[in-house]
Each structure stands twice: as structure tokens, then as C-alpha cells.
């Protein structure tokens, strides 16, 4: 060993990114890519299967909301919007649900190696993001097929996507950190995620549900994201989040909630990371 390498460095114990940022990034990339490849390569129907769930959901909901209700007539490009929203929400739901048990599933790695803990939930989110990318291709085909012409605002979509990924990651971190200690996190989140599905403008645009309920739903940090995505990608004529907001709470509360979830995620994860190996 060279003299320089013999400098003693403090061993700080396990942490979210223990072992260096570069190593964590490489691990994250490798795990997500191999997981993604495993899902799609080798199994002939792999990709189709992953599409079946959102498409089935889409088909059922489309029939319900265009036939039983008249959303098809009141909302421009409703079928495309519905598919788009479902694909986006599926990403959020899939990533967070799988993140809950991710650390417990990787028990041997956590308990027996020096593994950056944060990589585990992040890899789950990244794999889901790859899936989202594939699904968005289908949405794009659908968009063009139903006569939506390309708009310059499509270029703004990555902003929405980035915010969605940040929020998803934050929720995933919280759930993954809590589950080793509180083993009912998964059950609770299952219910909460379903409630969130209906409390987010996925099936309906926010302006159709009436003022009182609409004002309430607009507090959900996911609502403005879905509103923006709709305006920028599907229907430029739709009212944006600011237009549907009836007052300052509908602007400030989602932003504050969004930030709070992110701060909470970092705080909880950093607090739990050193102890996770002992909790398992």
C-alpha cells in the first residue's frame, strides 16, 4: 500500500449512503438495470404483462366513466387523459408499494454487508421509472392516434415528471424506513394508496367535482402535478392548477405538504438507516 492510502479515516457506521456516493450510484444503477432487464428480457410476454394491469384498469374505468357518467363528453380527450393519468399514478403506486418491503426483502444484504441503505428504496423507484418510460411510449402512440397534435408544451412534461419522481422517492423512503420497525406499514399504506388514488384527479379532472370537494382535493400535493401534466400534454385548454385554485390555501398547502414530505423523508431515513440492520 502506498503511504497515502494509510491515512486513517473514521468509520462512521452504517448510513443512508455509507461507502461513498459513487459506489451508491453505481449500485443503484446496476440493481435497477438488472431488475428491469429481468422483467423485460428473457420472458417473451414480460412487457405485455406489465402493461396488462394499467390497460385493464383503463378499459374498465373508461367504460364506467364514459357510459355511467358523461365525463367523455365533458372532458376533452378523456380516454387519453385517463390512460395518461393511470400510467402516472401506477408509477407512484408501484414504486411506493414495492418500497415498503424492499429493505426487509434485502435482509441478508443489509445485515451482512456494508450496503448503502438508501440505494434499496431508490432502486425500486428507478425500476418503476423505467417501467413508466416504457408505458409512456404507449401513451404517446395513443395520444397521436387520437388526434392530439404535438405541442411545444410537451417539452415541459419532464418538469412534472421530475416533481413526481421526487415526491414518489420521498414517500418510498419514508415507507421503507418505517417498515422494519412497524410491520403493519404495508397494510396501512395499501389502504392509504387506494384512498389517494381517488383523492387525486386521476379519473376526473378537478374542475368537474364541484367547488367544495374540488377545493379539498386541490390540497393533495399530487393534484397540481396531475393538473399540470394534463394541461401541458393532453389539453392546453384545460384550467391549470392555479386556475382551479380558489384561494391561497389551494396554492400554498400542496407546496408545503410536498416540501414537508421531502424533509420528513430525509430526516426519517437518516435517523433509521444506522439502526435498520438491528431492527431486522
Residues lying near other proteins in the complex (CB under 8 A) are found at: 1, 5-14, 18-20, 22-23, 26-27, 29-31, 34, 38, 108-115, 178, 181-185, 188, 274-275, 277-278
Of the two residues 53 and 111, which places its CB atom closer to other proteins in the complex? 111
Question: Cβ distance 99 to 127 under 8 Å?
Answer: no
Kindly write down the DSSP assignment for every residue of 29-88, as one continuous string.
HHHHHHHHHHHHSS-TTHHHHHHHHHHHHHHHHHHIIIIIS-HHHHSTTHHHHHHHHHHH
Shortest spacing between CB 277 and other proteins, in angstroms: 5
Shortest spacing between CB 117 and other proteins, in angstroms: 11
Of the two residues 15 and 66, which places its CB atom closer to other proteins in the complex? 15
Shortest spacing between CB 103 and other proteins, in angstroms: 14
CB under 8 Å, gap of 24 or more: what pairs does 232-235 form?
232/151, 232/153, 232/154, 232/156, 232/157, 232/160, 233/84, 233/143, 233/151, 233/153, 233/154, 233/157, 234/76, 234/77, 234/80, 234/81, 234/84, 234/143, 234/148, 235/75, 235/76, 235/77, 235/81
Of the two residues 74 and 271, which places its CB atom closer to other proteins in the complex? 271
Of the two residues 59 and 190, which places its CB atom closer to other proteins in the complex? 190
Quote the CA–CA distance of 243 and 228 in Å, as a whole number: 11
Kindly write down the DSSP assignment for every residue of 151-211, as one continuous string.
-GGGGGHHHHHHHHHHHHHHHHHHHHHHTTT-TTHHHHHHHHHHHHHHHSTTSS-GGGS-H
Shortest spacing between CB 174 and other proteins, in angstroms: 12
User: Three-class SS of residue 102?
Assistant: helix
Which three cell numbers mark 96? 411506493
Of the two residues 8 and 68, which places its CB atom closer to other proteins in the complex? 8
The torsion defined by the Cα of 216, 217, 223 and 229, in degrees rounded to 10, comes to -110
Of the two residues 1 and 137, which places its CB atom closer to other proteins in the complex? 1
Shortest spacing between CB 193 and other proteins, in angstroms: 15
Shortest spacing between CB 133 and other proteins, in angstroms: 21
Shortest spacing between CB 208 and other proteins, in angstroms: 35
Residues in the chain: 280
Which three cell numbers mark 134? 416504457
Shortest spacing between CB 34 and other proteins, in angstroms: 5
Of the two residues 66 and 105, which places its CB atom closer to other proteins in the complex? 105
Of the two residues 40 and 154, which places its CB atom closer to other proteins in the complex? 40
Amino acid at each position: 500500500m502506498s503511504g497515502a492510502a494509510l491515512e486513517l479515516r473514521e468509520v462512521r457506521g452504517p448510513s443512508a449512503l455509507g461507502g461513498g456516493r459513487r459506489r451508491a450510484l453505481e449500485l443503484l444503477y446496476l440493481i435497477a438495470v438488472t431488475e428491469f432487464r429481468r422483467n423485460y428480457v428473457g420472458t417473451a410476454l414480460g412487457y405485455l404483462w406489465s402493461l396488462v394491469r394499467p390497460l385493464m384498469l383503463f378499459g374498465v374505468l373508461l367504460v364506467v366513466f364514459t357510459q355511467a357518467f358523461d365525463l367523455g363528453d365533458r372532458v376533452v380527450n378523456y380516454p387519453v387523459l385517463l390512460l395518461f393519468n393511470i400510467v402516472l399514478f401506477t408509477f407512484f403506486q408501484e414504486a411506493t408499494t414495492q418500497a415498503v418491503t424492499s429493505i426487509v426483502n434485502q435482509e441478508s444484504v443489509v445485515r451482512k454487508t456494508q450496503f448503502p441503505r438508501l440505494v434499496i428504496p431508490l432502486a425500486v423507484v428507478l425500476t418503476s421509472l423505467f417501467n413508466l418510460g416504457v408505458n409512456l411510449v404507449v401513451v404517446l402512440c395513443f395520444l397521436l392516434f387520437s388526434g392530439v397534435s404535438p405541442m411545444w408544451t410537451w417539452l415541459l412534461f419532464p418538469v412534472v415528471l421530475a416533481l413526481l419522481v421526487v415526491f414518489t422517492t420521498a414517500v418510498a423512503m419514508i415507507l421503507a424506513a418505517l417498515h422494519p420497525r412497524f410491520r403493519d406499514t404495508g397494510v396501512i399504506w395499501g389502504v392509504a394508496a387506494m384512498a389517494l388514488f381517488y383523492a387525486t384527479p386521476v379519473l376526473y379532472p378537478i374542475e368537474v367535482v364541484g367547488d367544495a370537494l374540488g377545493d379539498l382535493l386541490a390540497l393533495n400535493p399530487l393534484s397540481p402535478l396531475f393538473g399540470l401534466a394534463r394541461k401541458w400534454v393532453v389539453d392546453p385548454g384545460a384550467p391549470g392548477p392555479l386556475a382551479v385554485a380558489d384561494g391561497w390555501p389551494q396554492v400554498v398547502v400542496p407546496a408545503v405538504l410536498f416540501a414537508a414530505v421531502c424533509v420528513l423523508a430525509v430526516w426519517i431515513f437518516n435517523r433509521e438507516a444506522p439502526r435498520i440492520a438491528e431492527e431486522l
